[in-house]
Amino acid sequence: MTVTDKLSDTAVGDEVRALLRVLDGQRRHVLGILEGLDANDLRRPVLPSGWHCLGLVQHLALDVERFWFRAVVAGDEEVVRGLTSGDEAWKVAPEVPAVEVLDLYRKEAALADAVITATAAEAAPAWWPHDLFGEPHLHTLRDVLLHVITETACHAGHLDAARELIDGRRWMVLT
């Protein structure tokens, strides 16, 4: 291995670590904005579309963390068997405790981190469901990380709005 290769490997590692820090900040935002809400409030829809905070967190666990990192990046398509491109992940059965969904999100984030830290930024995805989504539009771990950061940040903003509608709490206000 040449010095250039070593520098490149170090740079890739540093880049992935930096992107992972940003993603982790968005994950903390998702969980932080929900702190203090009881199970009823976590399931209460506050927008006309009818989604609720707990359903959004389950979507992030299954359709985002699990799908993008464990299935697409790592190639373990079995972890998403049974999930479709519909909105099933947004629906939390009434008998499922809220803490179980929040713990699922934490677990999927930890499993995703293991995939991320074992993968080079330039690595191509190992699997893609062509039958559901056609040709892939993300071609490296870097692309997937940027996509997931964006989606998680967007949903964190949705949770900010929902929380403010539920009890007036705001995550961060810049003036």
Domains of the chain, CATH where assigned: 3-167 (1.20.120.450)
3-state secondary structure of 70: helix
pLDDT of the residue at 87: 85
* CB contact burial 70-89 (16+ within 10 A = b; e otherwise): bbbbbebeebbeebeeeeeb
pLDDT of the residue at 66: 97
CA distance 131 to 133: 6
CA distance 93 to 90: 10
pLDDT in tens, the chain (175 residues): 443 344 444 544 899 999 999 999 999 999 999 999 999 999 999 999 999 999 999 999 999 999 999 999 999 999 988 766 678 899 999 999 999 999 999 999 999 999 999 999 999 999 999 888 889 999 999 999 999 999 999 999 999 999 999 999 998 766 5
